[in-house]
A and B are shown apart, each in its own frame.
Chain A
């Protein structure tokens, strides 16, 4: 393993040790901050419930992530190519985006029901805008002179987009997509907490009502692990695709 990985592990262990130490040392009750060891034990004990819930939440997040990323990039390409659309459409999209996704959740639950569809829509909404903004910023990043140069050689809009804008935008798109991984899971969980048949958010909600804070944190632990794996995966793909940087 590389040095940076080791450092990461050491840093994480230090924080976990501090957490465990604080919880045990000050004898904090579980309703304030449960000890790490208790959380791990509870996660193992309730794995029969946590694993299927984790799968469900992960599937919702991944589906929404895929839909959102495609839509985000698609809209950005559209606006980069058909620039007149930008004037009227961008402010409306910005206005929609500036409302926290959580605020749409009652409407989305109303329109798409309490099942998987509403979570996918919410995740797609959250991911879509982040990717869209990053991609649009990326497409705009190219030097005006380079565009003019290519145009003087007779290159069309499509060629400029493919040869010039897309390579320039890729790092930003990748960053946007990487940041979105974590959000996709959180949005899925938050939507589940408002209404669902299952999933980690549902477990968290149930546990809060039953005042079982160790269970809350063990569900969060599972969510964190999935987020991290997803984040790492997208990061790895990013490094391979944008290898020339």
Chain B
């Protein structure tokens, strides 16, 4: 409850600063519009914003789920098979150096203008940090604890699920929180390869029509989606990683 109050307080202060600055310095609307203009734009077509929000949300969720799953899986496999890690990790790194916009046309070619095309791009952005952090977390597990469990007769999978993965969870969640943001980026950028609905489409349309009010309206929708999703991941983290040092 306290956290919610703080959030509201923070947002109110930010809104007051915004509105105050616009009014006090007479900032022109095409640089920073007044907040009620943005709100008005949303109210004019609430259904469209809601549709766009939902569409981008679904793409983000699918991409995130795929990225998280494959990422953790990769991390575990690489941890168990160092030879494979040495061979594939450099390629993963290389793959991450290629900007999505460069091969987005290929994704459209293969998947068409489908939800899946966007989810794939979101996946592409998320799986790598999760892989790296899972590997890092697994590597940082104290080998003496592993030896101890083994001396009690624990098998590989048991050690993995009872000790190593739980110990790696804090690290994994750092990546998952990052992935929550990145999957949204992927979904939005994915929509820049031709689509009809979604927040990314709205951003693009507003950007090129120089409709700054609509641009901010879309940015706010992204912020709500991103913050909400991030908060959800952080909430799950607190429930699961209760030993993480919470202040």
Contact = CB atoms under 8 A, between A and B. Distances in A.
B88 interface: yes
B227 interface: yes
Interface stretch (A65-73, A139-147, A150-158): A139-147
A193 interface: yes
A171 B181 CA distance: 21
B133 interface: yes
Contacts of B88: 11
A17 B207 CA distance: 41
Contact of B102 (A99, A103, A175, A220): A220
Contacts of B7: 91
Contact of A141 (B11, B83, B203, B245): B245
A229 to B, nearest CB: 10
A99 B219 contact: yes
Contacts of A4: 82, 86
Nearest to A205: B101
Contacts of B207: 105-106
Contacts of A130: 178
Name the prevailing secondary structure of the A interface residues: helix
Chain B interface size, under 10 / 10 to 19 / 20 to 34 / 35 or more: 35 or more
A16 B179 CA distance: 28
Given A133-B177, A220-B102, A141 B226 contact: no
A99 B222 contact: yes
B36 to A, nearest CB: 19
B189 A100 contact: yes
A32 B171 CA distance: 39
A189 interface: yes
A100 B59 CA distance: 14
Contacts of A105: 207
A224 interface: yes
B71 interface: no
A103 B136 contact: no
Contacts of B245: 140-144
Given A8-B86, A220-B99, A137 B247 contact: no
B1 interface: no
B10 interface: yes
Contacts of B11: 91-92, 95
A83 interface: yes
Interface stretch (A35-43, A44-52, A115-123, A179-187): A179-187
A27 interface: no
A102 B185 CA distance: 8
Chain A interface size, under 10 / 10 to 19 / 20 to 34 / 35 or more: 35 or more
Interface in A195-230: 201, 204, 216-217, 220, 223-224, 227-228
Interface in B27-42: 31
B181 A97 contact: yes
A7 to B, nearest CB: 3
Nearest to B246: A140
Contact of A98 (B10, B170, B225): B225
B94 interface: yes
Given A7-B86, A97-B226, A193 B101 contact: yes
Given A140-B247, A141-B170, A89 B83 contact: no
B188 A102 contact: yes
A15 B3 CA distance: 49
A172 interface: yes
A101 B91 contact: no
Given A7-B83, A87-B6, A106 B230 contact: no
A98 B230 contact: yes
A179 to B, nearest CB: 6
Nearest to A134: B174
B246 A92 contact: no
B109 interface: yes
A103 B203 contact: yes
A79 B175 CA distance: 20
17 contacts: A8-B87, A10-B87, A14-B87, A87-B3, A98-B222, A98-B225, A99-B219, A100-B185, A104-B219, A133-B174, A137-B174, A141-B244, A189-B99, A190-B99, A204-B102, A220-B102, A228-B97
Given A11-B86, A92-B10, A106-B215, 4 more contacts: A94-B227, A102-B188, A182-B96, A204-B99
Interface of B: 3, 6-7, 9-11, 13-14, 31, 82-83, 86-91, 93-94, 96-99, 101-102, 106, 109, 128-129, 132-133, 136, 140, 170-171, 174, 177-178, 181, 184-185, 188-189, 203, 207, 215, 218-219, 222-227, 229-231, 244-247
